[in-house]
Amino acid sequence: MVTLSINDTDYHLEAEPNELLVWVIHEKAGLTKTRFGCGIQMCGSCRVLIDGEISFTCNKKIKDVIGKKITTREALPDDHPLLTGNMN
């Protein structure tokens, strides 16, 4: 069991420390706007903000984000750069 802070809500989830964040956000937290795409940090389907910084979740493990603030597409305004593709 891990606790992740996602969109200012604490999620208590059954997840292993080495599980990929993309799957935990999408499948276990039910926040389906974060999706698995290419798996090599190129397409951006899995991007979220972690402590305010853009991060790809397809290669990030749960153990690396415990205690950090995760913000997904669900919590961002429609014109946010993460959603419009204007973020590197």
* pLDDT tens readout for residues 4-49: 999 999 999 999 999 999 999 999 999 999 999 888 888 888 999 9
Q: Is the pLDDT of residue 88 over 60?
A: no
Please compute the mean of the pLDDT values over residues 51-63 and round it to a whole number. 95
In our burial notation (b when 16+ CB lie closer than 10 A, e otherwise), range 36-51 reads eeeeeeeebbbbbbbe
Q: Is residue 24 a contact partner of residue 88, using CB atoms and an 8 Å limit?
A: no
pLDDT of amino acid 78: 82
DSSP three-state, residue 10 = strand
Edge-to-edge strand list for the sheet holding 9-13: 9-13, 2-6, 69-71, 47-50, 53-56
Q: Which residues contact 9 (CB under 8 A, 6 or more apart)?
A: none
